[in-house]
Every structure is written in structure tokens, then in C-alpha cells.
Amino acid sequence: MAGDDNRSAVPSPTTVLYVDDERSNRIVFEHAFNKHFDLVTAASASEALTILETSSIGVLVTDQRMPGMTGNQLLMEVKERWPGVVRIVITAYSDFDALLQAVNDGLVARYIVKPWEREELLEVLRWACEVHLVGARDAMIRERLLKTERLAMLGTVADAAMHDMSQPLVALLNNSEALVRYTRSFPLLGDLLRLHGQLLPRAQRQELRTIIRDLPELATDLFDAAKVASAISKQFKGLFREEHQVEAREADPVRVVDHALAVARPQLPSGARGRYVGPDLLPPVALAPTDLFRVLANLIINAAEALSSSPRRGGIIEVDARVDETMVELVVRDDGPGMSPEAMAKATKEYFTTRAEGTGLGLTQCRRIVEGSGGTMAIESVEGEGTTVTVRVPRSERVTSPPARRDAS
């Protein structure tokens, strides 16, 4: 269905194509924007593709949920066949996974959340038309504009996600802290079990021994993970709202490695093992504990995923450490399948990932954090032999006491 030809304003030189399977939505869209743009509408993705094949379209606006072909599927085909078209999706927060995929895959330049507001969408459409006209003259400038907008979109999505996560994180933090307190009574429970355990069936006695032995460590891991998640959430919220909460820039690397290995344990494939092989005592580094954890957890989990993709069973992830006068060097190595030279060249580029569910931001974040502290990060990989990531961060002078040793296995 095409828009009304009797427009009261000079039409834009860029044609906007709006795709929605609901007729009422198309009528409302036309009524809101027909006077501002050269507007064409389509009732399905297949109709939209026919219009794109026969008309010069500059901006595509599509609904996400449509029968036959979804908004993301349409956006993917348009990206491949008409890369110069500026693409926008209209979606609901319930479609968060599809929205995140669209942003990660570079399918959209902007997104609009239902129910849209006329003035907001009008400004987005004007921006999209301008970007299309700029791109017609200079494709490089257009790509820079779209990349900047994509980063802004990721920030907006992350802000919404952090907001939705804040209450569950508070509950997780409080409850895991309470669980740690409760486990402090476990030595007494152990004594009671030794004195009166014969009153219980053997299987129940064994189950209680296992709980008394393992639950304190599991509770501590859970509480540590909740504190890290809460700190990251506060960092993000402070970034978006310009309310920066500064965490102390000093971390005990051995304790952080220990926690990162514990968090990575569930990611290890069957038969694989992760372990720390460095010194039990290291000087603190000039990096916030949350940031150092993000770096190490990313690297160790990446290594675990590499082992999972290996054709052979098991595998080893080792974290080693060395110290010189000014730096602490942390080395994460695995004996997985390694990376090809092509993958190595793109490994730390934004949005590059070899996993369908990945965002391609993990290694980019690691490098940003490390280099922001005055350190360096280097990656070496040989196909068929494995990958080694070396992180060097500035050291502090205070010496810390060694933690209890734990492996991820």
C-alpha cells in the first residue's frame, strides 16, 4: 500500500519503506509521517523485497514480529542485497534477544521500542534520511556514522538491561551473603553429624557430609560473583548517568585468578581442567578487582569454549604469573584447537566472534581495560596447538597474603 500522493510538504529525496503486517499500524504510520517523507508501505517482508527490487529505497523501517519472515530475516537479506539502505527496526522489550542479535549482527542503524512516540520516530527518520544522503556521497563517512550509532545503541540496550537486572542483583547479593553467614555454623553441624550420624541412614549421612564439605565454598563463590556483578552494574549505570563510582584501583591477582577459575568451572567440557600454576604470592596490581576479574574471566571462559570446540576430549587451561620491577604478567593458555591467522587478525576487533551466541565484545573489553590501566595484552595462537593470552598490568607495592589454592576442574 503506497502513501497518499497529496502531500502538503516537499517530499524528501530519500524514500522510506515501512513494513508491518498489521494494516492499522500502517495507517497510523502513514498518517503520522506522510507529510514529511516520500513514504511507501508493505504488508509483508516478501512485498517489501519486491518493492526494493523495483524502487529506489533509502530507509527501511520494519516491525520485528511478522508471519513468514521475521524482521531480522528481512533485515539480513536487505543488508546483503542493498547495503546502502539505512535499516531501522520497531520492536518490543519482550523481543530483547532478537533486538540484541540485530544490533550485534549490524542489521540495524537504530531501533524503536513500542509504543513509539511520533516526535522521537520523526527525528530518527530525519536522521536516517540524512545518513542515506551522506552515504550516497561518501560511503566511508556513512559507515563511521553507523558505527558510532551502533555503539550508542549498545549502550542504550545495556542501560535498559542493567536497570532490569538491578533488583534481582540486590536479592542475589543479600541472599548469598546470608548463605555465607549460615555456613559458618557448618563446623558445629559436622560435630553433630559425627556424634549422632548413626541415627540416620547411610545415604543421608553421606549427603550431609557432602553438603557440609562443599556448600561453604559454593556459597563464597556465589557471594563473590554477586559482588562482581553488582559492581559491574554500578559501573554501567554510573557511565550512562555520568555518576561515576570509583572502585579502588588495587587488586590481589592471585585471589582474582582463583575466583575467575571458580566461575569458569561450569564452562569446562567433560574431562577438562583449569588450574593456576603461578606463585602463591604476588604484589597487587593497579587495577580495580572488578576490572581484573572481567579480564581474566573472559579469557578463561574463552579458553573453555575453545576446548569445547576441540574434537578431542578434555584439555588444560593454565594461568601462570611472572613479576618484574614494574609489572605483573598473567598468562592464560589452553591446548585447544587454536585460531587461524585470519581469526587472529580479527580477534580483538569489535563485534568479531566465532560463536553464534557471542557479541564479539569480550576481547575488545579486555584490551580496553588492560590498556586503560597502562598495561598491554598480546595474543598468540597456533592452529591445532592452542592459544596463549599474555596480560601485563602495572603493579602496586603492597604485598598480600596467599589465598587457599583451588583449581577449576
Lowest mean pLDDT among 6-15, 22-31, 151-160, 364-373: 6-15
The pLDDT of residue 313 is 80
The pLDDT of residue 360 is 40
Which of 348, 327, 331 shows the shortest CA–CA distance to 339?
A: 348
**Averaged confidence pLDDT in the chain:** 81
SS3 for 400? Answer: coil
Cβ atoms within 10 A of the Cβ of 250, count? Answer: 17
The pLDDT of residue 32 is 93
For the chain, the straight-line distance linking the first and the last C-alpha, in angstroms and rounded, comes to 61
Per-residue pLDDT tens over the stretch 270-316 = 889 999 999 999 999 999 888 898 899 989 998 998 898 887 788 99
For residue 128 the three cell numbers come to 536516517
Per-residue pLDDT band for 142 (boundaries 50, 70, 90) equals: low
Domains of the chain, start order:
15-137 (3.40.50.2300), 161-245 (no CATH), 249-409 (3.30.565.10)
The pLDDT of residue 311 is 79
The pLDDT of residue 159 is 65
Lowest mean pLDDT among 111-115, 141-145, 282-286, 403-407: 403-407
Per-residue pLDDT band for 350 (boundaries 50, 70, 90) equals: very low
Cis omega before residue 115 (within 30°)? yes
User: What's the rounded Cα separation, in Å, for the pair 348 and 7?
Assistant: 49
User: What's the rounded Cα separation, in Å, for the pair 297 and 302?
Assistant: 8
Assess whether pLDDT exceeds 90 at residue 259.
Answer: no
Per-residue pLDDT band for 249 (boundaries 50, 70, 90) equals: confident
pLDDT average, residue stretch 166-174: 82
Assess whether pLDDT exceeds 50 at residue 81.
Answer: yes
Note the pTM of the prediction, 2 decimals: 0.48
Assess whether pLDDT exceeds 90 at residue 16.
Answer: yes
Lowest mean pLDDT among 115-129, 245-259, 277-291: 245-259
Cβ atoms within 10 A of the Cβ of 388, count? Answer: 18
Per-residue pLDDT tens over the stretch 191-215 = 999 999 889 999 999 999 999 999 9
The pLDDT of residue 94 is 57
The pLDDT of residue 231 is 76
Rg (CA), the chain: 27
Assess whether pLDDT exceeds 70 at residue 163.
Answer: no
Per-residue pLDDT band for 109 (boundaries 50, 70, 90) equals: confident
SS3 for 300? Answer: helix
The pLDDT of residue 165 is 72
User: What's the rounded Cα separation, in Å, for the pair 131 and 146?
Assistant: 8
The pLDDT of residue 151 is 64
The pLDDT of residue 361 is 47
Question: How does DSSP assign 46-66, residue by residue?
Answer: HHHHHHHHHS--SEEEEES--
User: What's the rounded Cα separation, in Å, for the pair 358 and 363?
Assistant: 11
pLDDT average, residue stretch 149-166: 65
Lowest mean pLDDT among 116-125, 129-138, 253-262, 321-330: 129-138
